[in-house]
Structure 1
């Protein structure tokens, strides 16, 4: 049966080794003229909310979004080599993305709080971009709240790939916000405890299918198949 699989990026597919927070800090500094007093608060939020929060906590007016997005894009591009040198692909990710992309009845893309430019930077740094249908994904510039991104991805898949509106969606992510987004949109959720949140925290948020990471390709694909009804 058909299935839409939407993968989170940071701490689900890759470990960014702190580069993400450096990107936010650099973008903030380029616009504010000074370094932030504390790191960005991320944990599954979209770039729109992360950057807005940084300016508000600093007591500064929030720039228009296109200005912020340009600053984030520049900061991300400047740190591509840092990400390659310091970051890593998480266990099993190459294999499971290959397996998902080989399913002709599935569409495998991303649902991420990152803007599209920085999502591409993070994925291309490790050769993961070719394994995902990125034009139909949903990104941090598309909406403020993570649940809203599910509808964005669905619309793109209908318009660009002809995917029917009733095809099941499953999110794969590492934070309670991924779980909440799935529950709010009646999507499936495969939670992975490969980030800062424990399996217990993910279960408390409402996830029933929880794995330590994506290293067991056969198990991951089996769980995803269960959401497709196969």
Structure 2
């Protein structure tokens, strides 16, 4: 049975221990010449939105995106050692990713608000990158809103891996935005309360089931298999022609 599994990164697969906010602050400072007045607001938002709001919130014009992305890449590369030292892969993540990666007919990748370069930094810091098909993932440079990233990932999976357009997809994430993106695009959702959002918050957003984390590999795989077993998904308005 075919399935597309799209994992969030921060607070779903890894704990970044504040390094993410430091990356945004460093990129902002490099472009503006001064420190931001407050921390970046993240919580499932894309890098495009995070950085735009940082500049507007500080009363500054928003630079062109290529300049912002280049600053984010530099800031991410410079903090790889800090991430390895202070951060960690979350419980059960290696096992869950390994189990998904060996399933016949499955494509296991990421759907993240991070730009692609920093997604690789974060995953490689804990040896997770070989367990994911990152070339077909969707990243924070690809769109402003998280639901739009689902169509990006689908198009890449279809084009690069030959997966039919109607194969089911399931998102795995820790924020209400992950749940909303799944529901808005006809995708499945595995919500995990491993970030700042409680099981009650995630359930209230529409998640049918919430796991405390990914430590129960058999349970995670069973839930993912249940989406594969539902067969072809209905097409939605978010699908690209």
Normalising by structure 1, report the TM-score: 0.99
Question: Would you say how many aligned residue pairs link Structure 1 and Structure 2?
Answer: 230
Residue equivalent to 1:171 = 171
Paired position in structure 1 for 2:8: 8
Cα deviation, 1:141-176, whole Å, max 9, x if unaligned, reads 000000000000000001000000000000000000
Match of 1:194? 194
Separation in 2 of the partners of 1:50 and 1:28?
A: 11
- Residue 137 of structure 2 is matched in structure 1 by 137
Residues in 2 aligned to 1:71 and 1:137: alpha-carbon distance in whole angstroms: 21
Aligned to 1:21: 21
CA deviations over 1:7-55 (Å, ceiling 9, x no partner) = 0000000000000000000000000100000000000000000000000
Are the aligned partners of 1:111 and 1:138 in contact in 2 as well (CA < 8 Å)?
A: yes
The answer (yes or no) to whether the contact 1:209–1:223 under 8 Å persists in 2 is no
Contact kept? 1:4, 1:168, Cα under 8 Å: yes
Residues 56-205 of structure 1 mapped to structure 2, 5 A cutoff = 56-205=56-205
| Structure 2 alignment gaps of length 5 or more | 231-241
Moved over 2 A (4+): none
Aligned to 2:35: 35
Q: Secondary structure at the match of 2:123?
A: helix
TM-score between the two structures when normalised by the length of structure 2: 0.95
Q: How far, CA to CA, are the matches of 1:110 and 1:49 in structure 2?
A: 19
Aligned to 2:224: 224
Unaligned runs of 5+ in 1: none
Q: State the partner residue of 2:239.
A: none
Aligned equivalents of 1:104, 1:204: Cα separation in 2 = 34
How far apart in 1 are the matches of 2:139 and 2:199? Answer: 25
Query: 2-side partners of 1:158 and 1:192: how far apart?
Result: 27
Contact 1:83–1:122 under 8 Å retained in 2: yes
CA distance in 1 between partners of 2:210 and 2:172 (Å): 10
RMSD: 0.5
- Report the secondary structure of 1:121's partner residue: helix
- Residues 47-62 of structure 1: matches in 2 within 5 Å? 47-62=47-62
1:95-150 deviations in Å (ceiling 9; x for gaps):
01000001021000000000000000000000000000000000000000000000
